[in-house]
Amino acid sequence: MKKKSRNFSVSLLLLLSSSIFAQSSPQIINVENRASISLNGLWKTIIDPFENGYYDYRRLPMKNGYGQDKDYVDKSSLQEYNFATDKTLMVPGDWNTQRAELYYYEGTVWYRNRFNYQLKKDKRVFLYFGAVNYEAIVYLNGKLLGKHIGGFTPFNFEVTDIIKEGQNSIVVKVDNKRALDAVPTLNSDWWNYGGITRHVSLIETPQTFVRDYYVQLKKGDKNTLTGWVQLDGNKLVKTAQVEIPELKIKQKLTTNENGFASFECSIKPSYWTPENPKLYAVNITLDNEQLSDEIGFRTIETKGTQILLNGKPIFCRGVCIHEEAAFRNGRIFSKEEDITLLQWAKEMGCNFVRLAHYPHNEQMIRQAERLGLLVWSEIPVYWTIQWSNPETYKNAEAQLTDNITRDKNRSNIIIWSIANETPHGDTRLNFLTRLATKVRELDPVRLVGAAMEKEEMKPGLMTVNDDLSKVMDVLSFNQYVGWYGSLPEECDRVNWTFSEEKPVIVSEFGGGALYGMRGGKTERFTEDYQEDLYIRSVNMLKRMPGLAGTTPWILKDFRSPRRQLRDIQDDFNRKGLISDQGEKKKAFFVMKKWYEEIKEKYK
């Protein structure tokens, strides 16, 4: 693809969006507050399990595949596809819950959208995708833009020289097949929703524009604001301004030949806390472009077994959340669906949410920030991936980089999580240590965590015996005492000990129950069993040394093909404290009561 010569400079944090796997441009942040045109709506689709639209019968890529979006007008020519006569899917959205025949489908679906566009003088244009699961190959007007891998992170392509006046055609080959060398790999415990699952838009920018920026408090310093701006374009030495009107902050910056400039200044803000989620209007101006954001300021650090928010101890009263909508049970695609889940967490008494097991949509983070919810943000390095495969590591690092790039200015994110329930071994330790190093290179302010696993030292005494714990800032782990391999009464006999003097976060605990199913306290999948398990788990957790937070698994029942018990699970993981239809189980109120007690203690 022929492009104008552009100087795409690299920011201080090397935030290149998925550069290893795609020809996409560096990620543009804060898309919601830029000049943009939505491409959401009904897109034409073709289901293509054998990838006939991409490969010929020798398994070689074709020049004249479905990406060309040819109209079927010459009936004497052989053409075996026609977007115009095929079915539609809503974008954003998953295909699994939109059409019954795609419920379990894993493979390729082609998406086509034709739209009209009016060219604008001296404007650059980027095609932006919030997320596509899992592999996206993108065409505009028959020209290949590139490929992106990873189902939960944003990407964009510059299309300035390809988009045309009048009608244009976007075609996306979307493939959600699981792969052994992928991240996540073949095996997981959540639904593999396929499709263009987040918003699609055209972003219009000046010839030189502010692509990226960072505005946060300096690590460990409540009164020093630090930040930078990164320009993109062909005239990179310019004057930019960062302004926070309410705090009377106005910083003029002159960018260098790479389009980069940094700053530090004194500041006395009202600090962001769960009780006072204060956000300040931040304006960044370059020539005639003004970019606005809302940013909060806080410090986060650890001291011994405590987590300190703005220098004060905090207990993270949390819950795990999957990015699955309440009631309709598909991939979330609207702000209102985000708010529903977050408000349920608030009702339970939470000040913290673990967004598992992958980066959630940007609005989920922003709405949590406005509601005063701290966030654990995670990438899908899950269970057993190919630890010794260099390409798998590059994939994981690219997803991590994309996630931090997008959300680094969100004050509520306090933990970047790099893994969940991964097996011990030297290759795994090296893989995750490299990821932890990358986190600290990209963002030295926040904490690094991973959901590790417990180990029994001797009957009745549990610990975490994982060399990865030495690399982490918090000692976080999953435990299901009373559910897997035992009954709830075991919680009464278990105590805990840890060799690391770090804050302890129990990142998962709990058990399953079908809403409304009643029975004895030892009868699995009854609300009575789950309630008793939570009562005993809470009592056990009260005895745990260094406990600084908990995130029970999970807020709401969610779809999983691993859960096959008919009339109880029916493709749902039933560990939710709330049913898939929004009904609160008895265990919800156990957690609500405990969190009220903790809240009083930490006043």
pLDDT in tens, 513-551: 999 999 999 999 999 999 999 999 999 999 999 999 999
What would the pLDDT profile of 417-433 be if each residue is shown by its tens digit? 999 999 999 999 999 99
Please, which residues bridge with residue 205 across strands?
Answer: 124
User: Do the strands 447-453 and 413-420 form a parallel or antiparallel pair, or are they unpaired?
Assistant: parallel
**Token pair of 94 as six digits:** 């998953």
- In the chain, the amino acid numbered 410 is R
CB count within 10 Å of CB 56 equals 12
Evaluate whether the domain defined by 312-601 bears CATH number 3.40.50.720: no
- Helical packing angle, 586-601 and 527-542, nearest 10°: 20
Helices 362-371 & 390-407, crossing angle to 10 degrees? Answer: 40
At residue 13, the pLDDT reads 36
Average pLDDT of 242-264? 97
pLDDT over 70 percentage in the chain:
96
**84-110: per-residue pLDDT in tens?**
999 999 999 999 999 999 999 999 999
Per the CB < 8 A criterion, the answer to whether 35 and 204 are in contact is yes
Q: What torsion, rounded to 10 degrees, do the Cα atoms 495, 498, 499, 500 define?
A: -170
Backbone angles phi, psi at 429, to 5 degrees: -65, -40
pLDDT above 60 (res 19): no
User: If we measure between CA atoms, which residue out of 555, 575, 590 comes closest to residue 480?
Assistant: 575
* Spatial separation of the C-alpha atoms in residues 415 and 400, rounded to whole Å: 13
CA atoms within 13 A on the CB side of 591: 33
Does the structure show a pLDDT above 90 at 22?
no
> Contact 148/121 with Cβ under 8 angstroms?
no
Angle at 323 between CA 175 and CA 150, to 5 degrees: 30
| Element (DSSP H or E) covering residue 368 | helix 362-371
- DSSP, res 398: H
d(CA 424, CA 315): 29
Alpha carbon distance 142, 158 (integer Å): 15
Share the mean pLDDT of the chain.
94
- Closest alpha carbon to 263 in 297, 217, 225, 230: 225
Which residues fall within 8 angstroms of residue 220, CB to CB, at 6 or more apart? 299, 301
Mean pLDDT, residues 333-358 taken together: 97
Three-state DSSP at 492 gives helix
- β-pairing verdict for 249-254 and 239-244: antiparallel
The per-residue pLDDT for 24 is 76
Q: Per mean pLDDT, which range of 54-68, 436-450, 461-475 is the poorest? A: 54-68
Q: Taking 90 as the threshold, does the pLDDT of residue 309 lie above it?
A: yes
* Mean local confidence (pLDDT), 480-501: 96
Rounded to 5 degrees, what angle do the CA atoms 364, 289, 213 make? Answer: 50
Question: Model pTM?
Answer: 0.94
Calpha distance 33→10 (Å, rounded):
22
Helix (H, G, I), strand (E, B) or coil at 102: helix
Separation between Cα atoms, residue 487 and residue 169, nearest integer Å: 58
Percent of the chain predicted with pLDDT > 90: 93
- Beta strands 88-91 and 504-508 are unpaired
Q: Residue 78 — very low, low, confident or very high, per pLDDT cuts 50/70/90?
A: confident
Report the alpha-carbon distance of residue 253 to residue 214 in Å, rounded: 13
What is the mean pLDDT of the segment spanning 292-309? 97
| Peptide bond just before 552 cis, omega within 30 deg | no
Tokens of 531: 């309630």
CATH topology of domain 31-206: Jelly Rolls (2.60.120)
**Single-letter amino acid code for the residue at 38:** S
- pLDDT computed for residue 9 by the predictor: 33
CA dist 83 and 283 (Å) reads 43
Q: How many CB atoms are located within 10 Å of the residue 459 CB?
A: 7
pLDDT for 492 equals 97
Q: Where are the domains of the chain?
A: 31-206, 209-300, 312-601
Closest by CA position to 70, among listed 51, 89, 83, 87: 83
- Above 90 in pLDDT, residue 603? no
Query: CB 457: neighbour CB atoms within 10 A?
Result: 13
Tokens 């990438």 belong to 379
In tens, the pLDDT along 176-208 reads: 999 999 999 999 999 999 999 999 999 999 999
Q: What is the mean pLDDT of residues 321-327?
A: 96
CA distances, 196 to each of 33, 152, 224, 365, 502 (Å): 21, 10, 41, 20, 40
Calpha distance 167→417 (Å, rounded): 43
CA separation for the pair 199, 169 (Å, rounded): 17
Superfamily of domain 209-300: Immunoglobulins (2.60.40.10)
Q: Are both 31-206 and 312-601 of the same fold?
A: no
Distance CA 466, CA 446 (A): 22
Strands 447-453 and 475-478: parallel
**Hey, what amino acid is at 587?**
A
Answer whether 594's CB lies under 8 Å from 577's CB.
no
Question: So what's the pLDDT on residue 429?
Answer: 98
Higher-pLDDT residue of 182 and 16 is: 182
Q: Could you tell me the pLDDT band of residue 391, with boundaries at 50, 70 and 90?
A: very high
State how far Cα 108 lies from the chain centre.
23
* Residue 383: strand, helix, or coil: coil
Tell me how long the chain is. Answer: 603
Please compute the mean of the pLDDT values over residues 316-335 and round it to a whole number.
96
Q: Is the dihedral of CA 80, 86, 92, 97 positive or negative?
A: negative
DSSP secondary structure letter of residue 488: G
Q: Given a cut of 90, is residue 11 above it in pLDDT? A: no
Q: Would you call 96 helix, strand, or coil by DSSP?
A: coil
Burial 3-38 (b: 16+ CB within 10 A, else e): eeeeeebebebebbbbbebbbbbbbbbbbeebebee
CA–CA distance, 219 with 320 (Å, rounded to integer)? 27
Q: What CA–CA distance (Å, rounded) separates 223 from 242?
A: 17
Look at strands 495-496 and 461-463 and give their pairing: parallel
Task: Give the span between the Cα atoms of 393 and 593, in whole angstroms.
Answer: 42
End-to-end CA distance of the chain: 60
Q: Is the pLDDT of residue 23 over 90?
A: no
